Amino acid sequence: MKSRLSIVILFLFALPSFGQEIKVNAKLDTTKILLGDQVNLWFMLEHPEGLRIDFPATGDSLAGKIEVLSASKPDTISKMNRIWKIRQRLVVTSFDTGFYVIPPFTFRFNNNHDSIQTRALPLEVLGMAVDTTKGITDIKLPYEIKVTFTEILPYIIVGLLLLTIIILYIRYLRKKKQGSEIVEKLAHTQIPAHLLALEQLDELVREKLWQQGKIKLYYSRLTDIIRQYIELRFKVPAMEQTTEDIIRDFTQAGHIKEGIRKELKTLLELADLVKFAKWYPVAEEHEASQQSAYDFILRTKPVVNLRKPVDEIDPVTNTEEEK
C-alpha cells in the first residue's frame, strides 16, 4: 500500500514539472481581415529532446466558415539546451463576413495518452464598405490593357515567316510551270535538242557570268540548259527531278555509258553545292563545268545513219531497230 502511494505522489509531483517543459501556442498575424483576404495561422511548439509530439490535424476548414488553403510541414527553428522549437504555418481565409472563434488545437504525445492545448483564437471577417448615399450605380466597364510591342512581336515574326514561305512556294510553282511550258514548247520545234543546248551554252559563255562574280546564277543557268536537253533528248522529266533522281533514271534505263554518267553526276552535284550550300568553286572548276556540259551534249547527241531511213533509228539509244 505504501509503494502504491509513493508512486501516485511521485507522479503528481512529476506531472507539473513535465508540463512546464512543453509549451504550445497558436497565433494569427491579425485578428481582422477583409472578405477573401488571407492570413497566417502559426503553431509554435517547445519540447524536450527525445519526446515526440504530434501536431494537430486541421482538415480543410476551421470553425465552419474559415477555410485552410495550405499547411506547411513542421519546421525546426532552433535547438538549445536540449529544447526543440518547432513551428508550422497554415494559410487561412474566409468568404463569409462575421466574428468567428477558432477552437483550441490539441497536441498529443506519449502515444496519444497525454495532450496539451492552445488557447482559442478570435477572427473577424469584414466586408467592403458600401456608400449607401450614392444609390445604385452601373457596373464598371472592364479596364482596357494596352498591348505592348513585346507582346505582339512573336506574332509578327511568325506572320513574316509564313508570308516568306508562301512567297517562296509561289515562286517555285511559277518557275516549275514556266520550265515545263518552255520544254513543251521546244519539244514542238524543229530544232534538234543538242543544237538548241549548244546554242544556249554559247550564249552563256558570252555572258561571262562567273567572271562578273555571279556564280550562283551561272550554275543555275548551266544546269537548266543540261536538264532541258535531257528532257528533250531522253524524255526524262529532269526539270522536276533532283540530281539523284536523274542519275538513277539514267542508270536504270542504260541510256548513257557509266563514264558519261559519272561526269554528269559530278557537274550536277557541284552546281547543287553552289546553289544550296553557298559553295564557291575556283575558276578552274567553272571552266571544267562548262567543258563538261559541252562534252555531255556532244557525246550523247543522236547519230543518224545515212544508210538507213530516219524512222528506223531509235532516237534514244541511237541503235537501229530490229525488223
Tell me the per-residue pLDDT of 179-238, one tens digit each, with 9 for 90 and over. Answer: 666 656 555 556 888 889 999 999 999 999 888 988 899 999 999 999 999 888 888 888
pLDDT digits (tens, 9 = 90+) for 271-309: 889 888 888 888 888 889 899 999 999 998 887 655 555
Q: How much is the pLDDT for 203?
A: 92
| pLDDT tier at 100, thresholds 50, 70, 90 | very high
The CA-based angle 289-291-296, given to 5 degrees, is 95
Whose CA is closest to 234, among 219, 247, 244?
247
Q: Report pLDDT for 105.
A: 92
| C-alpha pair distances (Å), 309 with each of 27, 84, 233, 305, 322 | 115, 115, 19, 8, 13
Dump strand ranges (E) for the chain.
23-28, 32-34, 38-48, 53-54, 61-62, 66-71, 75-80, 83-94, 98-102, 106-109, 114-117, 121-126
Provide the pLDDT confidence category of residue 132 given band limits of 50, 70 and 90.
low
Which residues, 6 or more positions from 162, have their beta carbon under 8 angstroms from its beta carbon?
Answer: none
Confidence (pLDDT) at 234: 85
pLDDT at 41 (0 to 100): 92
Helical axes 258-276 vs 215-234, angle rounded to 10°: 140
pTM of the model: 0.41
Give the pLDDT of residue 180. Answer: 60
Whole-number pLDDT of residue 233: 86
155 vs 84, 146, 147, 161, CA distance in Å? 57, 16, 12, 10
Find the farthest-apart pair of alpha carbons in the chain and give their distance in angstroms, rounded: 147
Q: How far apart are CA 232 and CA 187, in angstroms?
A: 6
pLDDT at 91 over 90: yes
